[in-house]
Amino acid sequence: MSVLIFVDIAEGQVKKASLEAMSYGAKVAEQLGTTAEGVVLGSPTEDLAALGIYGVSKIHHVNNAALSHLDAQLYTKVIAQVAEST
């Protein structure tokens, strides 16, 4: 089982706290002998492949117009589906 990290996006950019969370999550994953994976919801303008420098081995990107505005129930449902598939 991988360590799954939610990558928060604001105005198309990955938030600094998410970069820190990915680095920390990657360290935890290494201690557990597994991988770290990120979950991105919405439409970032950044190159998601570049997030690998923070230690994540895979990015799960779910892009849907419904995800452009924060909806806690929808976000929870989508993240749970990603978690079940990893």
Q: In angstroms, rounded to a whole number, what is the distance separating the alpha carbons of residues 70 and 84?
A: 22
pLDDT at 70: 87
Residue whose C-alpha is closest to residue 12's, from 56, 60, 63: 63
The pLDDT, as a whole number, for residue 8 is 94
Kindly report the pTM of this predicted structure.
0.90
CB under 8 Å to 57, separation ≥6 — which residues? 2, 35, 36, 37
What tens digit of pLDDT does each residue of 20-55 get?
A: 999 999 999 999 999 999 999 988 888 899 999 999
Name the domain count of the chain.
Answer: 1
- % of the chain with per-residue pLDDT over 90: 77
**Domain with 42 in it:** 3-85
> Rounded to an integer, what distance in angstroms lies between the CA atom of residue 53 and that of residue 40?
16
Instruction: Read off the CATH number of the domain in which 79 is found.
Output: 3.40.50.620
